[in-house]
Amino acid sequence: MSLNHGVADGATFWHFFSTWSEISRSGSSDAGGELSTPPPVLERWFLETSSVPITLPFGKLEDIVRRPEYPPVQECFFNFSAESVRKLKARANAEMAGTATATSTISSLQSLLAHTWRAVCRARELAPERETTYILLVGCRGRMKGIPRDYVGNTVAFAVARCTAGEVVEKGLGWAAWLMNRAVASFDEATVRDDLASWPQDPRFLYVKPPGEAAATIITGSSPRFDVYGNDFGWGRPVAVRSGAGNKTDGKVTVYAGRGGAGSMALEVCLEPEVLARLVADEEFMEAVSAAATA
């Protein structure tokens, strides 16, 4: 299954899969019993001040579609055991304990992504003074009033961490994870609402960065909270999970729960082939990896 990210986000995507697989297991959509998966909320959500319908300033799709040529990338699926993730989290928090920037507990995901960020900067051989950016997609369900938990749509916002490549490599895992922690903590409902309120007056669209501009950027989507391995269609538990071809550009990292559960995670990493080769050869990075498979 595929969908346009402008229509729905990962939470909606996996909610659909959970519902679909439960119906499949039951053998019939009218089996008589209610589904355990909550029904989707299909009603469109708008700000109270939004005037609907919203008029878009273009007449045909070609007016907004961009199709730049992107260089080929290679992908690799890295698995991290629950124990490995726990060690990264403990190390990140230990490095920041007692410092002037000590904050609330750095999460397992922030620790794992910081570990990846540092390794990718090394693999890309970025100059120490080069700015590097890590973009995290943050779900607004539960963070903004009025959006139902099971809302069908796209409710993601961006959390952005920036520093130089030298800083992210030299200041350690804890510092890079702390930077991500602060980026997520800076999520502000008022700012998101202001952006949504101004959008109808100036409709604008997000595009994948063209080649060259993305050379120091990483963007992570999906979530280890999505129950991807719980989608049994009646044929048994999934053996593996992989994403499709969409948005597989340089620097895209997709995160999944690990098949082993219990806090294990997996990352699907897309990079230029020579950069990925250096990443796989990075001993510090691979020390935390329990298994890896290239596509």
Domain at 151, CATH number: 3.30.559.10
Please tell me the distance from the alpha carbon of residue 21 to that of residue 185, in angstroms, as a whole number.
Answer: 35
CB-based contacts of 188: which residues, under 8 Å, 6+ apart?
none
The answer to whether residue 2 is domain-embedded is: no
Mean pLDDT of 195-204: 82
Q: What pLDDT is recorded for position 30?
A: 57
- Please give the pLDDT value at position 74: 94
Residue 100 has pLDDT above 70, yes or no: no
What is the chain's length? 295
pTM for this prediction? 0.88
pLDDT tens per residue, range 129-173? 999 999 999 888 888 888 888 889 888 888 999 999 999 999 999
Q: Which two tokens mark 250?
A: 């340089």
Q: Give the range among 95-99, 152-156, 233-237 with minimum mean pLDDT.
A: 95-99
pLDDT of residue 112: 98
Q: What percent of the chain has pLDDT over 90?
A: 46
Considering its fold, how many domains does the chain have in total?
1
Q: Which residues of 205-216 are buried (b: 16+ CB within 10 A; e: fewer)?
A: eeebbeeeebeb
| 206 or 170, which is more confident | 170
Does 276 have pLDDT greater than 90? yes
What own/partner pairs with CB < 8 Å and gap ≥ 24 does 100-105 have?
Answer: 101/175, 101/178, 103/178, 103/181, 103/182, 103/185, 104/181, 104/185
Residues above pLDDT 70, as percent of the chain: 94
Average of per-residue pLDDT across 207-214: 66
The per-residue DSSP string of 114-149 comes to HHHHHHHHHHHT--TTSEEEEEEEEE-TTTSTT--T
Cis peptide before 200 (omega within 30 of 0): no
Instruction: Check residue 172 and give left, alpha or beta (phi > 0: left; psi -120 to 50: alpha).
Output: left
What's the confidence (pLDDT) of residue 193?
Answer: 86
Residue 58: the pLDDT is 82
C-alpha distances in angstroms, 105 versus 39, 40, 108, 109, 121?
Answer: 34, 33, 9, 11, 24
DSSP state of 208: P
Single out the residue of 191, 197, 185, 177 nearest to residue 159, CA to CA.
185
Residue 131 phi/psi, 5-degree rounding, is -75, 135
pLDDT value at residue 211: 62
Mean per-residue pLDDT of the chain: 88
The pLDDT of residue 88:
97
The answer to whether residues 217 and 209 touch, using CB atoms and an 8 Å cutoff, is yes
Residue 77 in any domain: the answer is: yes
Q: Which residue has the higher pLDDT, 139 or 279?
A: 279
Q: Output 122 or 194, whichever has higher pLDDT.
A: 122
182-197 confidence digits (pLDDT tens): 999 888 888 888 888 8
What pLDDT shows up at residue 214?
61
Task: Say if 272 falls within a structural domain.
Answer: yes
Residue 170 to residue 208: CA distance in whole angstroms:
29
Return the bridge partners of 137, or none: 158
Cα 40 from Cα 12, distance rounded (Å): 8
In a domain, 4, yes or no: no
What's the confidence (pLDDT) of residue 29?
A: 54
Predicted confidence (pLDDT) at residue 210 exceeds the cutoff of 70: no
CA distance 290 to 276: 17
Above 80 in pLDDT, residue 114?
yes
Rounded average pLDDT over 222-250: 88
Neighbour tally for 125: CB within 10 Å: 11
In the predicted structure, residue 28 carries a pLDDT above the cut 70: no
Rg (CA), the chain: 20
Across 54-58, 76-80, 229-233, 261-265, least confident range: 54-58
User: What range defines the domain where residue 245 resides?
Assistant: 10-231+239-294
